[in-house]
Amino acid sequence: HGLQALARARTASGDLENAIHDHLLYSIGKTTAAASLADWRMALSRAVRDLVVDPWFETTRRIYAEDRKRVYYLSMEFLIGRLLEDAVLNLGIEDHARRAMYRFGVNYDEVVDDEPDAALGNGGLGRLAACFLDSMSTVGVAAYGYGIRYEHGLFKQRFREGWQIEQPEDWLTQVHPWEFQRSESVYPIGFGGEVRQKEDGRTVWEPAETVLAAAYDTPVPGWRGRWVNTLRLWSAQATQVYDLEPFSRGDYLAAAAPAVLAETISRVLYPDDSTPQGKELRLKQEFFFTAASLRDLVRRFVAHHKDIRKLPEKVAVQLNDTHPAIAGPELVRILVDEHGLEFDEAFLVARGCLHYTNHTLMPEALERWPVDLMWRVLPRHMQLIERIDEAHAVSTHAANQPRPDSVKIIDGGNVRMGDLAFISARKVNGVSALHTDLMKRTVFRDLHALHPDRIVNQTNGVTPRRWLAGCNPALASLLTEAVGHGWETDLEQLKVIAPLADDAGFRTRFSKAKQTNKDLLTKYLKAKLDITVDPTAMFDIQIKRIHEYKRQLMNILEAAAAWNEMKRNPSAPFAPRVRIFGGKAAPGYAMAKLIIKLINDIGRTVNADEETRDRLAIVYPPNYNVSMAEVLIPAADLSEQISTAGMEASGTGNMKFAMNGALTIGTLDGANVEIRERVGDENIFIFGKTADEVTEAREQGYDPSAAIAASPRLAEVVEQIASGLFSPEDPERYRALVDNLRGHDWFMVCADFDAYYAAQREVDAAWADKNAWARSAVLNTAPMGWFSSDRTIRGYAKDVWEVDARV
Ligand code: 26V
């Protein structure tokens, strides 16, 4: 704590100013006169990073001294966004940083804005991992995040004539000022080759190919820097720079070929979060970072403990989805082949450490790896997977009874990674109450019957530091005035503002904060995209990956139907709206890309209509990312959470919007259910079929054409799209989309359309009463304590990991 005080003292503006100046000169090698914005950003980042280093070491010492059980969060994705502003906020030195930059004649906001997002994730799953890192450091869980240091994060999205174009992302072309390369932590990771039986009975895997995993550490400071964990990302390196034989012949291109191949492993993030492609490189990425992480944590354990069988007392590994599920067989392999344990004991030790989070029930998104590919790339693991499968069968079934296909890890020539993860894990969790319930009733029904205590719920949460204090200073300072500081780490305190929903003065100030954010978004759209919007209109926002199940299509169809109605009936009471969309489609997901084009086509048509301009605008800023979310969410009046019930495991954007005082229009899906329980039915617009009703409708042979025939409004819009009203240059453009809607409509857009349209008209009516709307907005923010990821992490710490949460 002495060091903390020291660090605090150094943050006095003058000291920070000196530190920035020294870094500019001696780390960056620039004078103040010659420094670019990026140079200033590097200098400030380095100066701020310095403040984190002492508490980081202090945390490490505490963990060793107390011999704490550690959490290892294994995730293919960490969607962390920008780090400078976040570190400054967590350390509580924003005033100092602003003043220091001001004295140099540099605009702090521009410096912060210069940082590229670390976009090492696709969407919800990756952003959840980033919120968990923040919360683990804030509540004091000894934790390491383990992932891949992708050279290229999620692609950049451009629109060309309204179509999505993907461009490579390049965040590492500039120095990443937050990381420390750890040359001492480098491990060889093998692939392919053969498995041999030694004379002494031991099994050895002799890989054909070896790649090095090199560690890069980023400190993760919690609130006020009281605890600092580590995010360790692995970069792939060749074992040797040149192949000696071609090198000695002077064939330098051939000599460098193996190195190029090795380094492709950490080259790029796979941008598909809907359908696993079964690509060999993806499998190699999964094994690469999982194996490196396990090596690292076993080494750390063995350095201070004698008995490897006690690993579960000190180690909790969390598998973020099935992407690191190879951890089961790999840990068994380490224990059997390298530490000499018997298989049965090794399996129990491994299972004592492992925990698995499921993030989707959609059959097409569940990972399966072809058995022949697995034998080729990971022969020893494939042997062990067979062994695990058999052992599980023996332990759970009477000897001469046939085993149901549903509990086989290996089935139909594939390894089912969800089943492997379930069977290898001590605890398995879903990410909302509804999702966990559906896990038990659907995908994991038979495994749940065999292991009834294994599945638990841990409803997702988001960090209120980034998603309220950081992105919404206007609301944050009002909240601090109302409840005092402390809500940043104890979000339940916001409950205190619930009675103030009936206080006209408080409502006015709450609405003023919202208007401030809407004005900022209006300026942002003008400055970055040259789009003009009316900041007094309702800001109605749907931001998330483009997926059929998320039903951006239903949103845009309803927008078109509302437009038709406005034209038919000019005096109808439509609330003026700006309907904002944001999100990327997987590059190979043709229907999602067509939906993007449709939104842009309908937007072009509607926005050109003078008659409706005062009531409806459709805006789709390209390249939605974490930083854009930080501008959009605080400015939202209406949050669109309209997935087909039963399909969105949780959602986390829904929580961010509600926290920032937006009202939700949504289905009873994922965490929307839990949001409704807290804000109350009067303060949320729920519509549409429930999960059970969706299942029932499908069983009864749902016919979308009947739903279209029964809805004149929907029929009109579908016909307009089919006839090319929005795409006169190519009337056939939406043939596939329209055919799918009329003939298939798996996601029940047509079934829910009328209910959605009606709910939107209720929204219009509610908007007309500004007082009542503001009251509801306050009553959305007030009960959001439950959705802090601090609550989620404490839940995992207690029910899953059995670790201390104490700074
Ligand atoms: C899936 C796949 C499939 C294999 C290829 C690569 C890849 C990459 C990512 C994913 C993730 C899909 C699952 C996912 O992101 N689920 C989301 O998790 C959020 C956090 O729990 C949750 O809020 C969202 O509802 C859920 O869709």
Is the CB–ligand 1 distance for residue 652 below 6 Å? yes
C-alpha separations of 125 from 319, 340, 603, 757 in Å: 12, 36, 30, 30
pLDDT (mean) for 778-785: 98
Is the CB–ligand 1 distance for residue 647 below 6 Å? no
Q: 502 pLDDT band (50/70/90 cuts)?
A: very high
- Report the separation in Å between the CA atom of 273 and the middle of ligand 1, taken as the mean of its atom positions: 6
Instruction: State the pLDDT at residue 49.
Output: 97
Share of the chain above pLDDT 70, in %: 98
- Report the separation in Å between the CA atom of 183 and the middle of ligand 1, taken as the mean of its atom positions: 32
Largest CA distance in the chain: 89
Annotation says 550 is catalytic: yes
Task: List pLDDT tens digits, range 239-263.
Answer: 988 889 999 999 999 898 888 878 8
- Beta-carbon count within 10 A of 135 CB: 29
Catalytic residue among 550, 593, 678, 733: 550
Q: What is the ipTM of this complex?
A: 0.94
- Report the separation in Å between the CA atom of 132 and the middle of ligand 1, taken as the mean of its atom positions: 15
The CATH architecture assigned to 469-787 reads 3-Layer(aba) Sandwich (3.40)
Annotation says 61 is catalytic: no
Average pLDDT value over all residues in the chain: 96
- Beta-carbon count within 10 A of 32 CB: 15
Among 326-335, 398-407, 583-592, the minimum mean pLDDT is found in 398-407
Which is it for the CA torsion 654, 657, 661, 666, positive or negative? negative
Tell me the DSSP string of 11-33: TSHHHHHHHHHHIIIIII---TT
Catalytic residue among 10, 69, 359, 593: 359
Question: Would you state the structure tokens that stand for residue 166, as one six-digit string?
Answer: 């993907």
How many whole angstroms separate alpha carbon 372 and alpha carbon 405?
Answer: 20
Is the CB–ligand 1 distance for residue 460 below 6 Å? yes
Exposure string of 154-179, with b = 16+ CB inside 10 Å and e = fewer, is bbbbeeeebebebeebebbeeebbbb
Is the CB–ligand 1 distance for residue 130 below 6 Å? no
Among 124-133, 145-154, 189-198, 388-397, the minimum mean pLDDT is found in 388-397
- Report the separation in Å between the CA atom of 358 and the middle of ligand 1, taken as the mean of its atom positions: 9
Question: Are 49 and 43 a contacting pair, CB within 8 Å?
Answer: no
- Report the separation in Å between the CA atom of 364 and the middle of ligand 1, taken as the mean of its atom positions: 12
Task: List pLDDT tens digits, range 328-350.
Answer: 999 999 999 999 999 999 999 99
pLDDT (mean) for 408-421: 96
Annotation says 359 is catalytic: yes
Share of the chain above pLDDT 90, in %: 93
The residues of the chain that CATH labels 3.40.50.2000 are 70-80+119-460, 469-787
Catalytic residue among 218, 522, 652, 667: 652
User: Ligand 1 test: best mutation among 360, 364, 458, 655, most atoms within 8 Å of CB?
Assistant: 360
> Is 80 exceeded by the pLDDT of residue 759?
yes
| Homologous superfamily assigned to 70-80+119-460 | Glycogen Phosphorylase B; (3.40.50.2000)
Instruction: State the pLDDT at residue 748.
Output: 98
pLDDT (mean) for 300-320: 98
**Which residue, judged by its Cα, is nearest atom 6 of ligand 1?**
273
Task: Provide the whole-model pTM.
Answer: 0.97
> Is 70 exceeded by the pLDDT of residue 3?
no
Is the CB–ligand 1 distance for residue 650 below 6 Å? yes
Catalytic residue among 545, 551, 577, 689: 545
